[in-house]
Amino acid sequence: MADRPVDRKGDEGSRIVSETKRLIKDVKDHNKVHQQVCELLRNGFPHYAWVGIYIVEGDYLSLKAWVGDHATEHTRIKVGEGICGLAADTGKTVVVPDVAKDFRYIMCFAATRSEIVVPIKKGKTVYGEIDIDSEELDAFDKKDETFLEQVAEALAGLYK
């Protein structure tokens, strides 16, 4: 999957995947890599209103980096709870087109209308996830899913 061309709004997606790979190779501080990737994603796509990276620590997800207009109070989420916990538990990308219609959604921001959570994993081991909220209904399509899975796959390179 990593070598397949990114199909996300032309060259911007390819640039972000390439930049993520470069950061992993050049920057040894995981938190700096996480923060820079959050910034690349938020700045690259206007429908990404809030971008965070959570890392698995025992039975919890811990927020390590984020970019958005507001901080979230959900800095630790139990694996298995909410959309983030579901993605970490199953190791599968979760797309929620309308958070108001999904009982699993744990509200962070009143303006959030849709969400995508993509696990950062190697094989079946989940190391963390990319969590993105949008203020648009049904904001995430297969192109977002494919592109973000490629970013997550690159981020998995941080973990040996």
Cβ 85 vs Cβ 69: under 8 Å? no
Q: Residue 46 is part of which domain span?
A: 11-158
Query: Which distant-in-sequence residues (6+ apart) come within 8 Å of 96 by Cβ?
Result: 83, 102, 104, 105, 114, 115, 116
3-state DSSP assignment of residue 10: coil
In a domain, residue 93? The reply is yes
Predicted TM-score (pTM) of this structure: 0.91
Q: How many domains does the chain have?
A: 1
Query: Has residue 154 been placed in a domain?
Result: yes
Question: Could you tell me the CATH number of the domain that includes residue 140?
Answer: 3.30.450.40
pLDDT of residue 154: 95
- For the chain (160 residues), the mean pLDDT of every run of 10, in chain order, is 45 88 91 96 94 97 95 92 94 95 77 95 96 96 93 93
Q: What is the pLDDT of residue 10?
A: 58
Residue 107 lies in a domain: yes
Identify the pLDDT of residue 9: 53
Q: Tell the residue number behind the tokens 């930049």, with chain if given.
A: 19
